Amino acid sequence: MSIKSINPANGEVIREYQETSGRDCALAVREADDAFAAWKKTESGHRAELMRRVAGILRSRAEDYGRLMALEMGKVLDEGVAEARKCALVCEYYAESGSDFLAPEEVETEARKSYVSFRPLGVILAVMPWNFPFWQVFRFAAPALMAGNGAVLKHASNVPGCALEIEKIFREAGFPENIFRTVLAGGSRVEEIIADPLVKAVTLTGSVPAGREVASAAGRYLKKTVMELGGSDPCIILEDADLEMAARACATSRLINSGQSCIAAKRFVVVEKVLDRFLELFTEIMRSVRIGDPLDKGVDIGPLAREDLRDELHNQVLRSLDRGAECILGGRIPGGPGAFYPATILTGVTEGMPAYQEELFGPVASIIPASDEKDAVRIANHTSFGLGAAVFTSDLEKGERIANEEIESGNCFVNEFVRSDPRLPFGGIKESGYGRELSYFGIREFVNIKTIYVR
């Protein structure tokens, strides 16, 4: 069978790739494990030097990689270039700090010597999504490889070019030939790869249904997992917020990657006293957005990654309208080729509507009124997701209290939209998953935390 790379801006096939067979998937795992036997013994300084070379390649070819992302999944060129550079940043971060994060920790006991060491596990399977086709991979691969593990990547089937290019980068940088392998396999192959005894753990970024399937399969074979799943992130706008700043931040968060981000703001919970003014400011920004070919200069949002995803999003909008929501901007599929969808605002969103309950993976904003601060927090937490959230208020002490004590999420920002940073742990709770990526928490997810006791 073949895997097609399709340009979502015009529906044209870019290239066809041969799907990796089950036999070749098993071979890739075995070869990665063979490479791991030597890689786990290499000094951290050598690993760090190779990781810095990867960062150098990413920076020097950021324009090329941005163009590849634009062609395969519709990311606006400038955003793709920025994504490649962010990948370089995470490689440099772990090159600089990885060995310190994994340094043995002495523990005082009755023994002559007792300590905790952090040893690599082996081959880690990464099941990655299309929306950030470079960043999602590198934020896993940089810490995993710096810890001495091997990796096998099963990327989303609509970004095969990105998947193969990432493997090429590691090889070109001088990493052992098979320590990072890409397999172009469909979702049906994932469980058999998980079942391979040489695979020691699994990390997945994707939808809740995909997370349930992979976690279930990993559980049957007792494999450690990290899950970064969906989100329906709320932005709370309190009556003392700087509304102009909040509107800009909220619009930026909703439109990054054409709205196709797990941590994009999706539900805007606004205290009624400032609802009209916030909506006026927010609508003005959203109305000014330019939609078009992601390779064209000045374009703010490109197409969604696939037409079926665009159609699913539109169906969620229509079902919300049927249940009483009002569309004050956008909400119509434009004519012509490509998986385009306009910046859209839904008001009058209430419980029971898809725009309230579900993740809208595209440039659609749900405006939800709240009577006061307490009600806003209740609405923000009234979701099965728990990835990110934001609070906008001029009272920083109040904002920090709400963020720290009251919001149910893995990340909560005050007066800023949620984003990932290599220095900070990233992950969710509830149906948004478990485990953490990035910072020293991320590099310790896929190691054997080992007690050593010497009498």
Catalytic residues: 228, 262
Task: Report whether 232 contacts 266 (CB < 8 A).
Answer: yes
- Terminal CA-to-CA distance of the chain, rounded, Å? 59
Secondary element (H or E) of residue 163: helix 160-172
Number of other residues whose CB lies within 10 A of the CB of residue 16: 12
* Phi, psi (deg, nearest 5) at residue 29: -65, -45
Q: Which 3 state secondary structure label does DSSP give 433?
A: strand
Rounded Cα distance, 451 and 449, in Å: 7
Q: How far is CA 134 from the centre of its chain?
A: 10
Tokens of 73: 């999944």
Pairing of strands 199-205, 265-271: unpaired
Question: What is the DSSP code (8-state) at residue 132?
Answer: S
Residue 188 class from Cβ within 10 Å (0-12 exposed, 13-18 middle, 19+ buried)? exposed
